[in-house]
Amino acid sequence: MSPQDGITNETEKQAQDIMSNPLLAEKAQLAHEVREQIKLNPMTIEQLSTLLESEEGLKYFEGKLKVLQCMDGRNNGGDGMAGSGILLKRDETTNLPIRKYMEIFEKRVAEGKLEKLSWHKDCGAAKLYLKQHGNPNPTPEEVNNAAKDFATRFANHLGIPVIETNNGTENHDERGIYIDATDRFNEVPKNAEQLTNGFVLSPLYTDDFEYHLTEVKVAIDIAFGDHGVGESAFTKENPFFIILIKDPKHPEYFGNFANKINELISGNEDTETKGEFPQFKDKIRIKSITPKIQ
């Protein structure tokens, strides 16, 4: 191993131990087994909302993995950010997230809420990062190196293991986005039906909702594009869903974020702002819900 990899032998051993964790293996197997069925019979946004706000839906808030991972819906059970945070604004000296972000990550580690960080090959957020920084046509190797390098340096700074997750070679099959402010949401809980697959965003790592709009844009680009299920998979009756999951103790946290997402999609006539996805406006629906958690 070369020094620039930045992963110690001890960290490698920790990562191997984590990957052999039966919980991770069971989670991956469960997701694999139900994936094809969910593609054929996805739950609608109404069905998902009703379930998550019901007593039965409490099982989806009973615990999750303490790992920061990509928002990629093929990763399930942990915290999600685009590219595990690769698109966050960076400090020019450290080339890691700026202090206002880093303080939150460090606090979550200290509180035992964050124990590991992951990365994966073919990361769309890593590709976008390279395009934003002078590489308009990054190769797969460059994308993988960027994702691994960022995750490795970030995890080393936080003093936690870094692991690679295997998302397979399938296209993305997410049909929506779950944006979780409860810090408890688990799309694939043990002994429960997996929800319709979606990107999972964890907004508690930063209250910078302009940044979260970037994540939403990335998710829509993927889902409606060649690497996702594609535009034809969505209709007005069964749209791409964006579900904002409120914490009943802090229902104000999202503020006007739903309106901002609408503006991102369709624009705003009052401010003459053009939307990014006006052609999809009838195929995307946003809904806020509040689970019955204490």
193: in domain: yes
Domain that holds residue 121: 3-289
Neighbour-count burial of 235, counting CB atoms closer than 10 A to its CB (0-12 exposed, 13-18 middle, 19+ buried): exposed
185 in a domain, yes or no?
Answer: yes
Identify the CA nearest to 239 among candidates 254, 256, 220: 220
Res. 42 pLDDT band, cuts 50 70 90: confident
pTM: 0.86
DSSP code at position 90:
B
Q: What is the pLDDT of residues 250-277, one digit of tens each?
A: 999 999 999 999 999 999 988 888 999 9
pLDDT of 8 > 50? The answer is no
Contacts of 170 (CB under 8 A, 6+ apart): 74
Cβ 282 vs Cβ 236: under 8 Å: yes
Task: Confirm whether 294 is domain-assigned.
Answer: no
Domains in the chain: how many in total?
1
The rounded distance, in Å, linking the Cα atoms of 62 and 185 is 8
Q: Judging by beta carbons within 10 Å of its beta carbon (0-12, 13-18, 19+), is residue 42 exposed, middle or buried?
A: buried
Report the range of poorest mean pLDDT among 15-29, 55-69, 134-148, 276-290: 15-29
Q: Which residues contact 107 (CB under 8 A, 6 or more apart)?
A: none
The answer to which of 32-41, 167-176, 222-231 has the lowest mean pLDDT is: 32-41
In a domain, 150, yes or no: yes
Contact 76, 27 (CB under 8 A): yes
Average the pLDDT over each of 82-91, 189-198, 204-213 and give the range with the smallest value.
189-198
- Tell whether 192 is covered by a domain: yes
